[in-house]
Amino acid sequence: MSALKTVVVPINRAGWPFIAAFAVVSALLATVSEPLGWIGLILTAWCCYFFRDPDRVVPTRSGLMVAPADGTVHMITEAVPPPELGLGEERLTRISIFLNVFNVHVNRVPVEGRIVAARYQPGKFLNASLDKASDLNERMSVHMTTADGRDIVFVQIAGLVARRILCYLKDGQSVQTGERFGLIRFGSRTDIYLPPGVSPLVAVGQTTIGGETVIADLNGTEPQRQGEVR
């Protein structure tokens, strides 16, 4: 049974209309040409794979922040949070996680707290790996506070292929660490801004698992971690 779970995983509900559309087109292509039908079948299987939504084992110790997305830590830098959240011009440590089309695209809440504001900002669809994508691309910015009053910001950013951001969070909503809150179709980036004095516990180039990988400890004093390829 455990082996079966690694192959057959739940599909996010947002993916079913796309899977159905791919399946219908595949059936139509098969009536025209057998090779086209096989191509359609492969694309339908990929669509199922893209919208997979596996369960995750979420660390529950108070203060631990988890990655909001699967992907690769593309950059760690100092940056001002999105202006639509009205948090001022103070530069905070920003961790950017890049998702390719093969990553799980379901996003997860990084830490327990309360949603203050979730704001959509229209924009461009530049390559999400570019630094300027944080400022210019379409995005959904979320401001939340922890139980001890610290501000956390995380942002869903559309990419070159991604054309649709889904976010289910509402102002005033209470959330738990690792809770699913949305997804981005089809390839994207997720930024998270740490509170002052909090150091990243991931390094550039590291692979993250949304809801599982610890990216910071609000109650810890460990300095920023460094990493190298070996």
What is the bridge-based pairing of β-strands 164-167 and 180-185? antiparallel
Q: Which residues contact 33 (CB under 8 A, 6 or more apart)?
A: none
> What whole-number distance in Å separates Cα of residue 54 and Cα of residue 105?
11
Span 24-34, pLDDT tens digits: 888 888 888 88
Short-list 98, 113, 2, CA closest to 54: 2
Give the model's pLDDT for residue 50: 76
Tokens of 204: 């550039």
C-alpha R_g of the chain = 19
> What whole-number distance in Å separates Cα of residue 18 and Cα of residue 222?
44
Q: Which residues on neighbouring strands pair with residue 217, listed in sequence order?
A: 64
173 in Cβ contact with 120 (< 8 Å): no
| Bond from prior residue into 186 cis (ω within 30 degrees of 0) | yes
> What whole-number distance in Å separates Cα of residue 134 and Cα of residue 122?
12
53 in Cβ contact with 87 (< 8 Å): no
Domain ranges, ordered by start, for the chain: 2-50, 64-217
Other beta carbons less than 10 A from residue 58's beta carbon: 16
For the chain, which ranges sit under pLDDT 70?
1-8, 127-129, 161-163, 186-187
* Residue 199 falls in the annotated catalytic set: no
The yes/no answer on whether domain 64-217 falls in CATH 2.70.70 is yes
Q: Strand, helix or coil at 167?
A: strand
Give the model's pLDDT for residue 184: 84
The DSSP symbol for 68 reads S
Considering 26, 174, 188, 199, which one is annotated as catalytic? 188
> What whole-number distance in Å separates Cα of residue 165 and Cα of residue 128?
13
Give the model's pLDDT for residue 158: 86
What is the chain's length?
A: 230
Give the model's pLDDT for residue 136: 80
Q: Which residues on neighbouring strands pair with residue 142, listed in sequence order?
A: 118, 154
Give the model's pLDDT for residue 3: 42
Which residue shows structure tokens 């139509």? 28
> What whole-number distance in Å separates Cα of residue 60 and Cα of residue 95?
21
